[in-house]
Amino acid sequence: MDGTLQQDLQALGDLELAILVSLVAQEHCIFSTDHSRHDLRDELDIICRAIFGLQSAVIQCGPATTVDDFNEGILVHVSIDAETPIETRRGYGFPPLTADNSSARSGRFGSNTLDTRRIADVIIAVDLDTANENVQVQALELIRTKRVFTRTAMHSASRDFMVLAITSSPNARLSKHLNDLFCISHFHSAEYGLQYSDDQPADLGMPSFMRDSITALRTLVSEVHLSPELAAYLHNVAVFMRNSRYISGGVTATATRQLRAIAKVLAPLHGLDYVPPSLVALAAHKIYPHRLKLATAHTERSLQWGSDPEAVKRLLDGVTIEGAIDDVLASLETPL
């Protein structure tokens, strides 16, 4: 790995690393915090534009948000000349991009103007879990197809398209199928603070990770070696998750595929060209927390064979998702 790129990686904080992992893997991420969600929103917006040079669009969701509101909120105007330097075209030096809803309000045939807007590189959806089912279904289709239809046109997303959802609380969940499409989740504790929110993007220098850097990392990921023993270990993680008495659901096929992908993405970020068991454990702690459902005294499997409900209740008391993941990893034989 290039020495400059390695230095840039070492300087990243937890939020930047979460975005970088998602960007390299071409996946999406859920964020939560025990502090101000709006401060976290501003921090993510600055990071996307000033560190990664990506155009971002921020949308505040809620029960009253409509599908049209959502579609218009994720679109940005493209008015930058083709000869503009790549750093500027990719969003550096520009304020957060917002949508002009007037074109949608004018009706389907109300204007002859060609709608040239496109989907922003990064959608920061605040309180997406509070949006109604129709909006969450629209978000699901957006992630699956990377395009959206408005009243006037079809709009496509770029190759680096990414959705960052900020939940209303650390324990909040998106709808079942939408939740499963988000690859990783990250909790940002207030004690870590926010690095950029009080600064202006122009004061942060040029973006550290442009397209060439991301492409270089993706190339390194494609060259990561995964031994047969590690492949079996990855398989066993999923199997033991499904069989854990503490877990009643959430170990999906998508999660299993993404566990393998994220483990490989983490390797070059740690200066490795192979996947050790420790990176599989780290990937599991990013892949599963927003997916897993803990068993209760009414759903624990051993009740089917006559276990005492009171004993089961005492056993499950105090069990957390992180604890359940650790229990599964501890029960596995780690390959040498």
pLDDT digits (tens, 9 = 90+) for 118-129: 999 999 999 999
User: How far apart, in whole angstroms, are the C-alpha atoms of residue 97 and residue 91?
Assistant: 9
All structural domains of the chain with their residue ranges: 3-218, 223-331
Q: 3-218, what's its fold?
A: Rossmann fold (3.40.50)
Angle at the Cα of 293 from the Cα atoms of 292 and 297, rounded to 5 degrees: 145
The residue among 151 and 32 whose pLDDT is bigger is 32
SS3 (DSSP) at 96: coil
pLDDT band at 205 (very low <50, low <70, confident <90, very high): low
Residue written as token pair 């502090």: 35
pLDDT of residue 28: 98
Among residues of the chain, what percentage have pLDDT more than 90? 66
Instruction: Determine contact, residues 70/50, Cβ cutoff 8 Å.
Output: no
State how far the alpha carbon of 259 is from the alpha carbons of 26, 101, 275, 295, in Å.
Answer: 14, 39, 12, 22
Residues 6 or more apart whose Cβ sits within 8 Å of residue 198: none
State how far the alpha carbon of 43 is from the alpha carbons of 92, 197, 286, in Å.
Answer: 15, 5, 20
Q: Which CATH class is domain 223-331?
A: mainly alpha
pLDDT band at 207 (very low <50, low <70, confident <90, very high): low
User: How far apart, in whole angstroms, are the C-alpha atoms of residue 22 and residue 24?
Assistant: 6
pLDDT of residue 199: 54
pLDDT of residue 209: 81
pLDDT band at 145 (very low <50, low <70, confident <90, very high): very high
Query: Of 165, 134, 6, nearest to 70 (Cα)?
Result: 134
Q: How many CB atoms lie within 10 A of CB 135?
A: 26
The DSSP letter of residue 156 is E
Q: How many CB atoms lie within 10 A of CB 261?
A: 17
pLDDT of residue 9: 87
Q: How many CB atoms lie within 10 A of CB 310?
A: 9
Give pLDDT tens digits for 76-120: 987 554 334 334 444 444 444 444 444 444 444 445 567 788 999
Span 53-73, average pLDDT: 95
Angle at the Cα of 207 from the Cα atoms of 204 and 210, rounded to 5 degrees: 175
Q: How many CB atoms lie within 10 A of CB 194?
A: 21
Beta partners for residue 75, in sequence order: 119
Instruction: Determine contact, residues 210/53, Cβ cutoff 8 Å.
Output: yes
User: How far apart, in whole angstroms, are the C-alpha atoms of residue 245 and residue 242?
Assistant: 9
Query: Of 222, 227, 232, 174, nearest to 25 (Cα)?
Result: 222
The structure's pTM equals 0.86
Query: Of 17, 16, 33, nearest to 168 (Cα)?
Result: 33
118: its two tokens: 């496109």
pLDDT band at 57 (very low <50, low <70, confident <90, very high): very high
Mean pLDDT score of the chain, rounded to an integer? Answer: 87
Span 186-204, average pLDDT: 73
Give pLDDT tens digits for 258-276: 999 999 999 999 999 999 9
pLDDT of residue 192: 84
